[in-house]
Structure 1
């Protein structure tokens, strides 16, 4: 599969030294890693805004709606949400 090359802009970012050291252990492409993290955070923030707007218009999600959403996202895990037997 061919990836489309997005236009890029060079910026300078200051990170704690410890984070940079950990990043270097995880990847040789720090720019790509950071770009993916930023994209994920943007999606998370936009989704949160959409969910907030939905609740403003339609009321808070019910426990049943939240349980159904959890099931659709994570699937059913046996014993999920139930205390473990001692």
Structure 2
């Protein structure tokens, strides 16, 4: 298990009420949400860096990426990836 640090956060009461309806493990839920946000931010930074070095993504590249992310008939995102074994 990774090291943890206790912190205090302040949230609107309505959010806390809804959060408690969703989970008994508020810390785990919040940790997952923070991890997703961090990944989102890092991916966004990497995509910007790539475009600065190589130019804007083409419509075809964006369509292919959407197909891989959201699924596309005839495309298996898990096995169609170049790194897939």
Pairwise CA distance, 1:29: 0.4
Aligned residues: 73
Q: Residue in 1 aligned with 2:44?
A: 48
Deviations 1:12-39 (A, max 9, x none): 0000000000000000000000000000
1:76 is paired with a residue whose SS is coil
Deviations 1:25-82 (A, max 9, x none): 00000000000000000000000000000000000000000001111111115xxxxx
TM-score (ref. length: structure 2): 0.83
Runs of 4+ residues deviating >3 angstroms: none
Unaligned ranges ≥5, structure 1: 78-86
Q: Which is higher, the Rg of structure 1 or of structure 2?
A: 1
Structure 2 distance, partners of 1:39, 1:61, is 26
Q: Residue in 1 aligned with 2:2?
A: 6
Structure 2 distance, partners of 1:56, 1:6, is 35
Q: Residue in 2 aligned with 1:16?
A: 12
Query: 1:1-86 maps to which residues of 2 (within 5 A)?
Result: 5-76=1-72
Please provide the CA RMSD for this pair.
Answer: 0.8
Tell me: higher relative CO, structure 1 or 2? Use CA pairs within 8 A at least 6 residues apart. 2
